[in-house]
Amino acid sequence: MNVKEYIIEKVKKGTMHMTLLDPAKQSPERAAEMAAIVAGMGTDAIMVGGSTDVTSENLDATILAIKKKVSLPVIYFPSGAHALSKHADAMYFMSMLNSLNVNHVIGEQVKGAPIIKKLGVPTLSMGYIIIEPGMKVGEVGMAKLIPRNDLKTAAAFALAAEYLGMELVYLEAGSGAPEPVPSEMITAVKKSISVPLLIGGGIRDAKTAERVRLAGADIVVTGTVVENGELGEDLKKLIHAAKGIA
C-alpha cells in the first residue's frame, strides 16, 4: 500500500481520523483488538508510537499483530532511532522543529536514516510542532513550546516545514492535554500551508473533534480515549465527528 497516495487521496475528499496506539501500553494482541474496533468505526489509519518505553520488540510485535487483524495502513510514529520496524506500511520521518535539542531536530534522523534505508520502510516527512502545554512529549523533546495565543509563530513554523519540503505538518498539544490546539491556531496554520495538517493531543469527545475538523484539520489524531478502553458508542461518535460523517 502506498500510504502517501492513500493520505493525499483521502484528504482531498475530507478530514481523516487516525488512531494512535502506544506499543508500551498494552499487549500486541490487545492493540490489535483495539485497532479492529476503531477500524470498524471508520478510523482511516493506525499510528503506532509513544514518547517513552517503545522498544524494537514491542514495536514489531504490535505492528505485526495489528496487521494480522486490520487492513488499514499502519504508520510508525517514532520518538527516536532506538526502535525501528520493517513491518510498518510507512513511518513518519519527522523533525521536532521547535525542540531546543538538536538531537530531536536532526540527530536521531541522521542515526535512523541508513537503518531505514536498509529496512526499506517508506517514509513520510513531517514537521512536528509542539504547542502548549506539550505534556510528556514537550518535556522529553525539550520543546520551546509555542504559546497557545501565538498564531503567527505556529503558522511560520508550519510554513518553514513546507518550504523545507516536508510532506506533512503535525501540531501537537501533547497526549492527554487538557485542551487541544486552539481552533484559531489550527485555522491560521491551515491557511499558511498547502500540505496536510495533523492535529493531536487532548481530543477526547465528538464535540471537540468536530471543532478541530471545522477549524481546518486534515487529519485528527486521538490516542488516550482509545488507550483508556473507551471503545463504545462515544468513540464511534468522535471518529464520525472528526470525519464529518453523520
Q: Which residues bind ligand 1GP (CB under 6 A)?
A: 20, 172, 175-177, 200-203, 221-224
Shortest distance, CB of residue 128 to ligand 1GP, whole angstroms? 9
Tell me 230's DSSP state.
-
The pairing of strands 168-172 and 74-76 is unpaired
- Residue 90 or 117: the one with the smaller Cβ distance to ligand 1GP is 90
The residue among 36, 15, 45 whose CA lies nearest residue 244 is: 15
Shortest distance, CB of residue 114 to ligand 1GP, whole angstroms? 26
Contact 73, 102 (CB under 8 A): no
Shortest distance, CB of residue 120 to ligand 1GP, whole angstroms? 25
Beta bridge partners of 20: 47
Question: Residue 176: phi, psi to the nearest 5?
Answer: 80, 10
- Residue 80 or 176: the one with the smaller Cβ distance to ligand 1GP is 176
Q: Please return the burial class of 173, using the count of CB atoms within 10 Å of its CB with bins 0-12, 13-18 and 19+.
A: buried
Shortest distance, CB of residue 101 to ligand 1GP, whole angstroms? 18
- Residue 29 or 230: the one with the smaller Cβ distance to ligand 1GP is 230
Which residue is closest to ligand 1GP by CB? 200
- Residue 5 or 236: the one with the smaller Cβ distance to ligand 1GP is 236
